[in-house]
Chain A
Amino acid sequence: MPRLIIERRFKTPFILSIVFPLLSIVLALLTSSLLLLALNVSPLGALKGMINGALGSWYGISEVLVKAIPLVICGIAVALAFTMKVWNIGAEGQIYLGALASAAAVRYFPVENTFFMLSVMAVMAILAGAFWGGIAGYLKGRWNVNEIITTLMLNYVAIHLVDYFVYGPWRDPSSLGFPMTAPFPDFARLPTFGGTRVHAWIFLALIIVILYRVVIRWTRWGFEIRAIGENQRAALYAGIPYIKNVVLVMAVSGALSALAGMGEIAGLQGRLQHGFSPGYGYTAIIVAWLARLNPWGTVLVSIFMGIIMVGGETLQVIMRLPLASVQVIQGLILLFVLASEFFRNYKVRILSGDGR
């Protein structure tokens, strides 16, 4: 009787780490076409629509970048925590809290100077995000409270806190009942470029990517984080303090996500509103994971995610596909790419019955 033998790969050939993701995207699209056929939509047409929408025009490309900006920033934020094997699932909440803090800055300390206003907003976002991440970090370091649970729970707290303000005290009276604040004044807006929605945080994202690389590779702190992540006991023996580092890493991670949140409202929406992030903080986890915590990989994967998102929006508009079906296609692509990770780490051989 033939049997399947599964073995761990000693080393993954470089070519395979490119082939598998591509192959899995193709398989995902093939699977999606079944769904599309059931909806009486031509799969090829849909694929064309997606690619055209995302990459067929300068506008499409700029929209991809708009989505990629928060993904890169949050992707690096969670990658930093993941390097230390601290599972920060809380980027989403940190995005919201950062946005809340910078909106508070606009409301309570308006300065009529773009540079100063944005600086105050950024500092507020950083403090809020660092605090939010730091809570989970301290609980983890001091009492070994599972950070996956705490960060996840804090997400709900942060998101609902924002809702409290936008439905309540901060609601714009002229918003016709929509849960949002009044539009920010111009001096509280991040500059955008070339008539697109691409805003200044694109540079922040690049700076963070480079800084992350430098910190992890060359600094004492980066070495400590990596050592803890690889082997906590050995790191302890090398005299690397755990509590301090887990708080610090979570605080930095939270601060970065919070900055991404500020970018969303000051660069894009121009106001704080209910549900302004379509789950960037969660997608960032997938980004960091698929990029294997590699900084440039994070950029590439973020752009890929941006393409899926923008392409999906196009399908909704042009092909009149229901939102749910678009999300199914997006989900299938992710599912296949994630599943292909298995084949990167393991190889499957077929063995015939007599043990040969």
Chain B
Amino acid sequence: MKGITKSFYGIRANDEVNFEVRPGEIHTLLGENGAGKSTLMNILCGLYTPERGTIKINGEKCFFKSPKDAINAGIGMLHQHFMLVPVMTVWENVALGDKELPQVLPKNKVIEQIKELSDVYGLSVNPLAPVWQLSVGEQQRVAIVKLLYRRAKVLILDEPTAVLTPQEARHLFRVIKKMAEEGHGIVFISHKLDEVLEISDRITVLRKGRNVGTVAKEEASKEKLAEMMIGKRVAFAIDKPIQNPGKEVLNVKNIKVLGDRGRLKVNGISFSLRQREILGIAGVSGNGQEELAEALTGLRKPISGKVFVDGDDVTTGNPRDFMKRRVSYIPADRKGTGLIANMNLRENIALRKYWKSEYTRFGFFINWERIAGHTGKLVERFSVANPSLSYPVRLLSGGNMQKLMLARELSDNPRVIVAVQPTWGLDIGATHYVREVLVSQKEKGSGILLITDDLEEILALSDRIAVIHGGEIVGIVDNPDKVTEEELGLMMAGTKLEKYPVYDLKEDELE
């Protein structure tokens, strides 16, 4: 790919970007959110047309009118969401979209080919299993098999480890290396620097839509890559002051919570959270974390069990009951649950305040001047970069959105903070800021429940770690400095370890 240029809304997402992959090479594309990685790859897959620039495959100039052309040219992309049909079986999914197959699908032939591919690359899948029964890791293998079945020569893997346990990720890395050995060109997209260094042959860094440079693995280091990504030196370490935890602020007793489809997602979880403590909940996403967080903020009612905040039973409370007890929530989907994208900064801050008497007139009208004043102060304190308070939130960067949400949720010095993936998708600078804010809030006395699948984050911040799998706590780590990633990974996959027992709270401790 040479001189690729593409603009959206007059902003150059790709500006004269060059990128190449050789057969048998694992080439990582690295960059912060908004650096232009996705744009570049979407151009390669035929989803976007570049304004300028050329794509050559095996020296031949190509012009993709649609994703179909790109597939025919041997380019396959593993999306973060796998784009499989859940009700169909594995082999049906693989055969889906193959125009060369006759109308009556040759089932056995397809299954044979799947088995062959599985053997060669170590991708064990059961061709007859329906996709919805498979774990996320297995679904990912199906998606890869599908790409290989389509004879993809260049495979683009978009943050493939985000949904995996460390063990599954390691397995995936073996598959990737095998694919490279077999002569495929691999484009690996990630922002986790450790794994990038582990797997890549070469690394190309993008920043603000431009090439910063391409380095061979031998010349790269974590610090150097980070500096290339954001253009200045960055500190990685976060001070984790050890505090004496205080009074218990949140107590969860054997709660069971149903998911959206009525399936049991949280299956009897108990724990207690104290002031000045960060309790990390580690686990692969989709193991009940979202449902747990929603049950602790009033968005979802547990079907059994109890939730106490400061000793008050709030099990059946609505979100406002939790708010009144100063429980704050930093949801994973900023633009979904946290903020209203089309509303402006003032209105988003108002969401937590507009019904309080000091922000209304005659109990009926909203006192927008007062809300604006409050917003102004918060925006300054949390350094949310914004052109004006009437600016729609959707036009802010991810980092500024998250800062705005922190500003709103931390403004009344919360007792409990439920933070889910608080740094997901943020650039290094914003990530660091968010973590610092959480730690300083802990020092001010909040109890923080940190729910994330980012092990680095959980190890960096937590005072205790509980590992969740299949809606249950499989182990509690009292001393995060001593635990290894392997041990956490095993527990995330559901293995109980004797070293880390789940201690039950006795009835009388609750009183």
Using a CB–CB distance below 8 Å, which chain A residues touch chain B? 3, 5, 7, 10, 218-221, 223, 226-227, 230-231, 233-239, 241, 351, 353-356
Chain B positions within 8 Å of A5 at CB level: 49
A220-B360 contact given A231-B340, A234-B340, A238-B351, CB 8 Å threshold: yes
Contacts of A226 in B (CB 8 A): 343, 347
Residues in A neighbouring B347, C-beta threshold 8 A: 223, 226-227
Among B53, B320, B365, max chain A CB count under 10 A is at B365
Report the separation of the CA atoms of residues A239 and B365 in the bound assembly, to the nearest whole angstrom.
Answer: 18
Residues of A with C-beta under 8 A to B320: 238-239
B319 touches A355 (CB 8 A): no
A10 to B53, CA, bound (A): 24
Contact in complex: B318, A233 (CB < 8 Å): no
Closest to A226 in B: B343
Tell me which residues across on chain B come within 8 A of A223, comparing CB atoms: 347, 350, 354, 366
Q: Are A239 and B318 in contact (CB under 8 A)?
A: yes
Q: Looking at B331, B339, B351, which has the most chain A CB atoms within 10 Å of its CB? A: B351
Contact bitstring B261-304, A, C-beta under 8 A = 1, else 0: 00000000000000000000000000000000000011100000
State which of B10, B337, B360 has its C-beta within 8 Å of the C-beta of A234: B337
Residue in B50, B329, B338, B343 whose beta carbon sits within 8 Å of that of A355 in the complex: B50
Contact A237 B329, beta carbon cutoff 8 Å? yes
Q: A356 contacts B51, CB within 8 Å?
A: yes
Q: Are B365 and A219 in contact (CB under 8 A)?
A: yes
| Assembly CA distance A5 to B51 (angstroms) | 11
CA distance A355 to B342 in the complex (A): 34
**What are the 6 closest A-B residue pairs judged by CB atoms, nearest first?**
A239-B320, A10-B9, A238-B351, A231-B340, A239-B319, A230-B340
User: Which residues of B does A touch, CB under 8 Å?
Assistant: 8-10, 49-54, 63, 65, 297-299, 318-320, 323, 329, 331, 335-343, 347, 350-352, 354-355, 360, 363-366, 368
- Selected from A219, A220, A233, A351, the residue in CB contact (under 8 A) with B336 is A233
Report A-chain residues with C-beta under 8 Å of the C-beta of B337. 233-234, 237
Known: A231-B336, A355-B51, A355-B52. 12 other contacts (CB 8 A): A3-B65, A218-B366, A219-B366, A223-B350, A223-B366, A227-B343, A234-B337, A234-B351, A235-B340, A239-B318, A353-B63, A356-B51
A237-B331 in contact given A5-B49, A220-B366 (Cβ < 8 Å) = yes
Among A227, A231, A354, the one with the most B-chain Cβ atoms within 10 Å of its Cβ is: A231
Asked whether B63 lies within 8 Å of A355 as measured between CB atoms, the reply is: yes
Q: What are some 20 contacts across the A-B interface (CB < 8 A)?
A: A3-B49, A3-B65, A7-B8, A10-B10, A218-B366, A220-B360, A221-B364, A223-B347, A227-B347, A227-B351, A230-B340, A230-B341, A231-B336, A231-B339, A231-B340, A237-B337, A353-B63, A355-B50, A355-B51, A355-B63
Residues in A neighbouring B360, C-beta threshold 8 A: 220
**In the assembled complex, which residues on chain B have CB atoms less than 8 Å from the CB atom of A236?**
299, 319
**CB neighbours of B63 from chain A (8 A):** 353-355
**Chain A min CB distance to B370 (Å):** 13
Task: Please tell me if the beta carbons of A356 and B336 are within 8 angstroms of each other in the complex.
Answer: no
A220 touches B10 (CB 8 A): no
Q: Which residues of B contact A227 (CB under 8 A)?
A: 340, 343, 347, 351
Give min CB distance, B334 to chain A, whole Å: 10
Residues of B within 8 A of A230 (CB): 340-343
CB neighbours of B339 from chain A (8 A) = 231, 234
A237 close to B319 (CB less than 8 A)? yes
Q: Are A219 and B49 in contact (CB under 8 A)?
A: no
Expressed in whole angstroms, the Cα–Cα distance for A219 and B368 within the complex equals 10
Interface core residue of B50, B341, B354 (most chain A CB under 10 Å) = B354
